[in-house]
Amino acid sequence: MKKRYLSVALVVALAGSMMMTSCIGSFSLTNKLLSWNRQVGNKFVNELVFFAFWVIPVYEVSCLADVLVINSIEFWSGTNPVAKGKKVIDGHDGRYLVECDGKGYTITSENDGSIVRLDFDADRQTWSVDAGQGAMPFMTFVDDNHVSMPAADGTMQTVELSQAGVMAYSQSAATGLFASR
């Protein structure tokens, strides 16, 4: 009888905690696990690992940890502890070390040691870039469908978040780049 009450209490507590947060979260732990699985090998190996992780309940545990613990930390603190970390990226012109601290990214070129910092200001909904000469805002979220970005003439231009909007901005930036040369 006591075991049944404990089970019911646990289910009610879990359901209540999920209904009280109102934050979807980024599910960083589960996404990192899935991303790792995609890089294991060819599609057949990936499928076998996926199936094994589903049977062993690795995915279930990671999803539950995201929903109950990590999502709550992200909701209350504004940062995701799993999102932090380092990754080496091989680009077309060299290798880069990307470090995430939960608020932004530090990108270090292994070629020349140059450092670029990308930061997000949640209050102003603005991403800024600092390449050593001070932070400069480069994208501010206006609403769900628009951002404000620098135009070639130095003013800010509203860009629609669609394929057409991004293409129009790209063309105006390229035109401005060629006009300034």
pLDDT digits (tens, 9 = 90+) for 35-69: 777 876 667 777 777 766 676 766 777 777 777 76
Residue 60 has what pLDDT?
76
Q: pTM of the full predicted structure? A: 0.50
Nearest Cα to Cα of residue 112 among 96, 130, 129: 96
> Which residues share a beta bridge with 104?
119
Angle at 68 between CA 62 and CA 73, to 5 degrees: 105
Q: What is the mean pLDDT of residues 143-155?
A: 83
**Which is more confidently placed, 135 or 152?**
135
145-154: burial string, b at 16+ Cβ within 10 Å, e else: eebbbeeeee
pLDDT at 21: 46
**Residue ranges per structural domain of the chain:** 12-77, 84-134, 144-181
> 90 is written with which tokens?
């091989």
| Segment among 16-30, 99-113, 115-129, 162-176 with least mean pLDDT | 16-30
Beta carbons within 8 Å of 105's beta carbon, 6+ residues apart = 98, 99, 117, 118
CA distance 54 to 34: 11
Q: Is the dihedral of CA 152, 156, 158, 159 positive or negative?
A: positive
Q: What percent of the chain has pLDDT over 90?
A: 0
Contacts of residues 146-154 at CB distance under 8 Å and 24 or more positions apart, as own/partner, are 151/176, 152/176, 152/177, 152/179, 152/180
